Amino acid sequence: MMRTVGWVIAALLAVAVPAYLFTPGNPPVANFDEGHYDIVPADAVSGCAGNLALPVGASVGDTDTISSGSDDVRFSAFVSDAGAPASIGVATATDAVAATTIERVGSGDLAGLGAFSCSEPQTETWLLGGSTALGESSRLVLANPSPTPTNVEITVYGPAGPIDPPITRALAAESSDSLLLEGIAPDLGSMAVHVAADAGGVVAAIQDSRLDGFLPVGTDWVHPSDPPATSMVVPGIGPSDPEGIDGPAVVRLFSPEGGFISMRLVSTAGEVLLAGVGGVTLEPGEVIEVDLPASAVGTLLVEATSPTLAAVRSSVGREPDEGLEGDVARDFAWVNGQSAESTRSVAVTTHYSVTVAAYATADTTMRVFRWGTDELLMERVLAEGETIEAPLRVDAGTPVMVEGDVVWVLRVADEPGYVTTVEPIDPDDEARPVTVRPGPYVP
């Protein structure tokens, strides 16, 4: 009897135990949900590039001789809301969300227009522009407007790739610094600069000043670019005039990982044929420049197999104040490529002649508002792929916001042939998702 009971129990166990053991078991996740929040970042202090400076000091001569400096310098700063930029050394800082500085140098080596859209410090900045070839100077300005000190690592890329080793700089809180890249990486006709900063980041800019002998051939600020992307739109370029006084517009391309890049040029008059330069192959870290064919003001569309940066330098020629017959002085403007999904939407206008150069990425209505108000300043219906250039007649210092599926830039020009661009910025007032959870801190 007992034996039978024993067998029955054993048989039951033989069935029940495996059945139980093979039941999938899930431990209870401790009842803690991650916290998901949307946080609007506080407005950070923006940094501006400051004044243009002669790369190697002014040589002052009498009226008969050539003078590198100029006594015809007009510097203006326009802000969207708060006070004017304050000096933090060679650069300036402002609490305003959007601000533009513009400087007109009427004579000397730096003759021309240079504008800069003040921006928030970033921990990673790409600057595509500048040259350290003979007669050409690239002055890197680093501004740390934040209350946190930061360490900066600068890597210069040239036609043959990165220049080793990277340069490091420490920046105190609310301070700035400048250095001449020709001292570090000379003889680079085309270059890209990567600035990595810890802590609160920095605002970086390059003052690209060029001479042709004694003739000034342009000065402009190279504005921080969007991060590399496989699709870039460069609006507001040209006019390109390779055979004429203005000279060709030049596109500079850089791809950290290398790859094949194809380009299309769309002017206000329609698509321009890029004979022979429609596609190029880049080695990783290589920076190249390609002259663009003659065209009206337009937009360059860049498609690449890997994330790429593109920027275009467009120049305008003029007769020099001094010089020989046939000499041409020039000024140029750098325009960065923007990704098609760019959220840059705000810029502050300046005096001189301001036009909006835009490219429609889709069929859209482009509306220009006075930023922060409903005041419509301009409205245009655009078809996909259409590029326009339209004068913007508003007071200097007007913060404008552009709505619509467009990539745009403000072109500023003045007599006798000075040009520059004001790049829009992202006002960054949107909430960002942040996920938090308790977690121990173990090194």
Partner 1 sequence: MSPRKAYVRAIVVTRGRPEYLARTIEAITYQGRQPDAWHIVAVGADEPDREQLGIPEALDVELTGVKARTFGQAVSAVLESVEPEEHEWLWLLHDDSAPLPDALGELLAIPRKRRRAGVVGPAQVRWDHVQRAVNVGVTVSAVSGRRVSYSDLDDLDQGQHHTREDSLAVGLAGAIVKRSLWDKLDGTDPAYGRYGDSADFCRRAWRTGADVVLAPKARVRHAQAAMYGRSDPADTDSDHRSTYARRRAAEWYHGFAWAPAWAVPLLAVWMLVASLSRAVLRVASSDLRMVSAELRAPIVLAASMPRLAASRKRVARATGEAGVVERSLLASGIDVMRHMRARELGSYEQWQARNAPKDVQRRELSELATRRWWAFGATMLAAAAFAGLLFGTWLAPLFRGDMIAGTATGSTAVSWADMWQRTWTGWADAGLGAPALDGTWAALMLPFAALPGGLAVSIGVLLTASPLLAAASAWAAIGSLSRNLAARALGALAWASAPTLVQSVSDGRIGAVLVHLLLPLLALAMVRAVAVQARDQLDGGEVFPATRPGSPTAAAAAAFLMACVTVAAPVLLVPLALATVVVTIAARGFRRFAAAVAVPSLVLHGAALAYTWTHRGEPGWWRLLVRESGPALPSDPAANWQLLLGIAQQPPDWPGLVAAGDTALTYLPGLALLAAAFVALASGRSPVPVRIGWAIAGMGLTVAIVSHHTVALQPTVDGVAGANGWPGAGLSVMMLGFLVAVIAALRPAPKPQVGLTTRTIALREARPPSPVPAVATMLIAVALLGHLVASAWPGRPFGGDMHPADPQVLPLVAALDLATDPKTRALVLNRDEDGAIAFSVLTRDGSTAMLGYGHLDSRGRVQQPDRYDNGSIAVLDQRAAVLAGGGEGALEALRRWGIGVVVVPADDTATVDQLSRVPGLVVMAASDRGFTWRVVGSTEDTDARVTRARVEDPELGTDWLPVDSASGRVAVGPGSAFRTVVLAVPPSDSWVARFNGEELESRSERGQLVYRITQSTGLLVVEYHDSAYRRWWWAGVAALAWIALSAIPLHDRRFRRERP
Whole-angstrom distance, CA of residue 405 vs CA of residue 340: 9
Binder among 57, 276, 326, 439 for partner 1 (CB under 8 A): 439
Whole-angstrom distance, CA of residue 399 vs CA of residue 406: 18
Which residue from 178, 402, 214, 212 is spatially nearest to 315, judged by alpha carbons? 212
Q: In sequence order, what are the residues at sequence separation of 6 or more whose Cβ sits closer than 8 angstroms to the Cβ of residue 161?
A: 283, 284, 285, 286
| Amino acid at the residue 385 | G
Shortest spacing between CB 38 and partner 1, in angstroms: 8
Site mask for partner 1 (CB under 8 A), range 380-419, x = bound: ----------------------------------------
Return the number of other C-beta atoms located less than 10 Å from residue 209's C-beta: 27
Give the strand order in the sheet containing 92-94. 46-48, 92-94, 86-87
Shortest spacing between CB 153 and partner 1, in angstroms: 11
Which residue from 215, 233, 177 is spatially nearest to 324, judged by alpha carbons? 215
Which residue's CB is nearer to partner 1, number 121 or number 399?
121
Binder among 47, 85, 108, 121 for partner 1 (CB under 8 A): 121
Shortest spacing between CB 428 and partner 1, in angstroms: 10
Whole-angstrom distance, CA of residue 267 vs CA of residue 420: 19
Whole-angstrom distance, CA of residue 288 vs CA of residue 255: 10
As beta bridge partners, residue 5 has none
- Under the criterion CB under 8 A, does residue 41 sit at the interface with partner 1? yes
Shortest spacing between CB 438 and partner 1, in angstroms: 5
As beta bridge partners, residue 362 has none
Shortest spacing between CB 346 and partner 1, in angstroms: 18
Site mask for partner 1 (CB under 8 A), range 202-231, x = bound: ------------------------------
| Candidates 266-274, 353-361, 416-424, 435-443; binding stretch for partner 1 (CB under 8 A) | 435-443
- Under the criterion CB under 8 A, does residue 426 sit at the interface with partner 1? no
| Candidates 108-116, 143-151, 177-185, 236-244; binding stretch for partner 1 (CB under 8 A) | 143-151
- Under the criterion CB under 8 A, does residue 374 sit at the interface with partner 1? no
Length of the chain: 443
Binder among 66, 84, 199, 294 for partner 1 (CB under 8 A): 199
- Under the criterion CB under 8 A, does residue 27 sit at the interface with partner 1? yes
| Candidates 15-23, 47-55, 69-77, 298-306; binding stretch for partner 1 (CB under 8 A) | 15-23
Helix (H, G, I), strand (E, B), or coil: what is residue 184?
coil
Shortest spacing between CB 441 and partner 1, in angstroms: 4
| Candidates 69-77, 114-122, 131-139, 384-392; binding stretch for partner 1 (CB under 8 A) | 114-122
Shortest spacing between CB 413 and partner 1, in angstroms: 35
Whole-angstrom distance, CA of residue 72 vs CA of residue 113: 12
| Candidates 42-50, 77-85, 242-250, 302-310; binding stretch for partner 1 (CB under 8 A) | 42-50
Q: In sequence order, what are the residues at sequence separation of 6 or more whose Cβ sits closer than 8 angstroms to the Cβ of residue 272?
A: 265, 266, 293, 295, 298
- Under the criterion CB under 8 A, does residue 2 sit at the interface with partner 1? no
Q: In sequence order, what are the residues at sequence separation of 6 or more whose Cβ sits closer than 8 angstroms to the Cβ of residue 74?
A: 103, 104, 106
- Under the criterion CB under 8 A, does residue 288 sit at the interface with partner 1? no
- Under the criterion CB under 8 A, does residue 30 sit at the interface with partner 1? yes
Binder among 165, 276, 326, 438 for partner 1 (CB under 8 A): 438
Question: Given the DSSP bridges, would you call strands 329-336 and 86-87 parallel, antiparallel or unpaired?
Answer: unpaired
The set of long-range contacts for 1-8, using a CB threshold of 8 Å and a minimum separation of 24, is none
Shortest spacing between CB 29 and partner 1, in angstroms: 7
Interface residues toward partner 1, by CB under 8 A: 18, 20-32, 34-35, 37, 39-45, 120-123, 146-149, 173, 197-201, 432, 434-443
